[in-house]
């Protein structure tokens, strides 16, 4: 939603929230002091806790007027933040109140998808249309996209007017693209407009997003240039925009993936990037506040992919959906596990003759798994932040292998020593071995950690080359393949040295 609007509300809300109630205020001050002196991570989160507990208490007490008071004085982003802490029935009460007070639209923009859907299903279309009317197109489109086809169409009918046109425009584009996250509200003027006229125009505007840039377009609405509000302020009133504007502008296409949009905005430190269609027509802008959300979202997604749970807001999913989302990812390690069963089966003879071998299976594969995860995470993240050159595969591989060897030797020696203490002598078919078994586990760990580091580094590099998101590939695949290799190395070394 419009940045400056949010800001003004923000200041407004803080202004009041500091006046909320004397006791609570003193509390905050005390904690702040503590914070300042000790530099612990509290303050705003802390303030949240205080507010949340109050709100819950007021709802329980049905103290509507006090509740109205707190709500009307709180920032939409804060109110939205209370919901995950509330019970369903408490949520409904708060929803009702927000709708009465006409704050629902603003809060809606800040809510997570779970709570949004809750609202949409609790209130009937007429009321929702009212709420949606007060919402910016990009946030609204986001909500409607989650709804079943006909429900969202029904709502769009009720909204009508420019708003619904805008939303329909956004909904043409795929999710997670510039066209989908852009806002169609921006200030575009012609080249002839003078600085003074532009300034005058800005005065009139109410709900335009990001008035930090003025975009210059021709009659066909094709983007000609951009002027920062600062440039506008800093020039003679009668200068036409033509003479002020920067003629070449960073821009994105409606189909540009949101990750790429974030990349452009972040790298060049823009506050907004214009979205231009194939005919160079300016159809919207993506603002930096939405870019921050994108960065958050993409990071969450990477983490969850690496953990093998394919979904962004899985934390708020039902048990069934949760299970369904995670099931396939576990299949990788299941299949890997079955392979391991066969591999170990091959060495059944050795196991029968020396059961002690089995005791070291977990540590051998465990150490491999962990160093492999380290390597893959470093590479995945390095590729994402650009610290690692996707073409520098050999350089990375070499560093990881070297690290693997170093760590492998350290832990190999430690494990060997332990094995020697634990099994001072192992007996195989009547023959006694004092040293061979420790040597076996030592070598096994060392070789396995080397291989694990290499695999962990190579798999993401490999997927990157295939234009597949490295994060997907990394989690279960790496650990599983490492398990199998680990067992193979372990028993091969054992058979070679012991039998």
338 binds its own copies (CB under 8 A): yes
Which of these segments, 58-66, 125-133, 136-144, 359-367, binds its own copies (CB under 8 A)? Answer: 359-367
Among 191, 222, 242, 418, binds its own copies (CB under 8 A): 418
Strand partners, 428: 431
CB of 474 to its own copies, least distance (A): 10
What's the CA gap between 202 and 214, in Å, rounded? 9
Q: How many residues bind its own copies (CB under 8 A)?
A: 153
What's the CA gap between 110 and 76, in Å, rounded? 7
371 binds its own copies (CB under 8 A): yes
- Which residues, numbered 157-216, are part of the site for its own copies (CB under 8 A)? 174, 177, 199, 202-203, 211-212
Tokens 């020697």 label which residue? 420
Name which of 243 and 293 has its Cβ closer to its own copies. 293
481 binds its own copies (CB under 8 A): no
Which of these segments, 97-105, 130-138, 164-172, 372-380, binds its own copies (CB under 8 A)? Answer: 372-380
229 binds its own copies (CB under 8 A): yes
14 binds its own copies (CB under 8 A): yes
Name which of 38 and 65 has its Cβ closer to its own copies. 38
What's the CA gap between 172 and 170, in Å, rounded? 5
> What pairing do the DSSP bridges indicate for beta strands 213-217 and 188-189?
parallel
Count of Cβ atoms closer than 10 Å to residue 49 Cβ: 12
For residue 287, give the 3-state DSSP assignment: strand
Count of residues for the chain? Answer: 499
4 binds its own copies (CB under 8 A): yes
Do residues 159 and 171 lie in contact, with contact meaning Cβ atoms separated by under 8 Å? no
Which of these segments, 23-31, 97-105, 347-355, 431-439, binds its own copies (CB under 8 A)? Answer: 347-355
CB of 38 to its own copies, least distance (A): 9
CB of 126 to its own copies, least distance (A): 30
489 binds its own copies (CB under 8 A): no
List the structure tokens of 103: 């704050």
Site map 77..106 versus its own copies, x via CB under 8 A: xx--x--xx---------------------
CB half-sphere exposure, 278, CA atoms < 13 A: 1
> What pairing do the DSSP bridges indicate for beta strands 223-228 and 213-217?
antiparallel
Strands of 128-264 (E only): list them: 188-189, 213-217, 223-228
10 binds its own copies (CB under 8 A): yes
- Which residues, numbered 25-84, are part of the site for its own copies (CB under 8 A)? 32, 35-36, 39-41, 43-45, 75, 77-78, 81, 84
Q: What is the DSSP-derived secondary structure letter of residue 311?
A: -
Tokens 């530099």 label which residue? 39
Which of these segments, 138-146, 154-162, 216-224, 408-416, binds its own copies (CB under 8 A)? Answer: 408-416
Site map 420..459 versus its own copies, x via CB under 8 A: --x-------------------------------------
- Helix then strand then coil, in percent of the chain rounded to 5, is 70, 10, 25
What's the CA gap between 169 and 287, in Å, rounded? 18
CA 156 to chain centroid, in Å, comes to 29
């Amino acid at each position: 939603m419009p940045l400056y609007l949010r800001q003004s509300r923000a200041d407004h809300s803080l202004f009041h929230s500091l006046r909320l109630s004397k006791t609570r205020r003193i509390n905050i001050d005390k904690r702040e002091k503590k914070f300042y002196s000790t530099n612990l991570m509290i303050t705003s989160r802390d303030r949240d806790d205080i507010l949340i507990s109050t709100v819950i208490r007021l709802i329980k007490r049905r103290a509507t007027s006090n509740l109205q008071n707190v709500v009307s004085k709180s920032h939409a982003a804060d109110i939205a933040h209370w919901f995950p802490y509330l019970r369903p029935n408490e949520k409904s009460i708060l929803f009702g109140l927000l709708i009465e007070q006409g704050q629902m639209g603003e809060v809606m923009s800040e809510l997570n998808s779970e709570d949004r859907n809750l609202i949409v299903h609790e209130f009937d279309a007429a009321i929702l249309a009212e709420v949606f009317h007060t919402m910016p197109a990009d946030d609204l489109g986001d909500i409607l996209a989650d709804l079943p086809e006909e429900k969202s169409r029904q709502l769009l009918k009720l909204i009508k007017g420019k708003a619904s046109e805008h939303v329909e425009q956004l909904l043409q584009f795929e999710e997670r693209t510039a066209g989908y996250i852009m806002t169609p509200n921006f200030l575009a003027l012609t080249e002839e407009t003078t600085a003074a006229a532009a300034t005058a125009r800005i005065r009139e505007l109410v709900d335009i997003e990001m008035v930090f840039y003025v975009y210059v377009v021709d009659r066909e609405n094709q983007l000609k240039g951009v002027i920062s509000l600062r440039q506008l302020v800093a020039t003679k009133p009668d200068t036409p925009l033509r003479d002020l504007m920067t003629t070449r502008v960073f821009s994105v296409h409606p189909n540009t993936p949101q990750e790429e949009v974030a990349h452009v905005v972040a790298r060049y430190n823009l506050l907004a990037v214009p979205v231009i269609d194939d005919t160079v027509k300016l159809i919207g802008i993506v603002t930096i506040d939405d870019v921050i959300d994108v960065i958050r979202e993409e990071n969450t997604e990477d983490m969850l992919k690496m953990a093998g749970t394919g979904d962004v807001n899985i934390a708020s999913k039902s048990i069934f959906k949760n299970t369904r989302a995670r099931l396939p990812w576990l299949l990788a390690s299941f299949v890997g596990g079955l392979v391991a069963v066969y591999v170990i089966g091959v060495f059944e003879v050795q196991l029968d003759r020396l059961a002690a071998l089995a005791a070291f299976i977990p540590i051998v594969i465990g150490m491999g798994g962990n160093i492999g995860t380290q390597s893959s995470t470093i590479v995945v993240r390095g590729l994402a932040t650009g610290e690692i050159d996707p073409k520098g595969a050999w350089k990375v591989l070499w560093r990881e292998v070297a690290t693997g060897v170093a760590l492998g030797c350290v832990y190999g020696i430690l494990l060997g020593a332990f094995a020697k203490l634990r099994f001072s002598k192992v007996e195989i078919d009547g023959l006694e071995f004092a040293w061979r078994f420790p040597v076996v586990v030592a070598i096994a760990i060392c070789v396995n950690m080397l291989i694990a580091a290499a695999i962990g580094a190579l798999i993401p590099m490999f997927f990157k080359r295939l234009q597949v998101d490295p994060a997907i590939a990394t989690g279960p695949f790496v650990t599983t393949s490492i398990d199998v290799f680990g067992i193979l190395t372990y028993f091969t070394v054992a058979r070679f040295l012991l039998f």
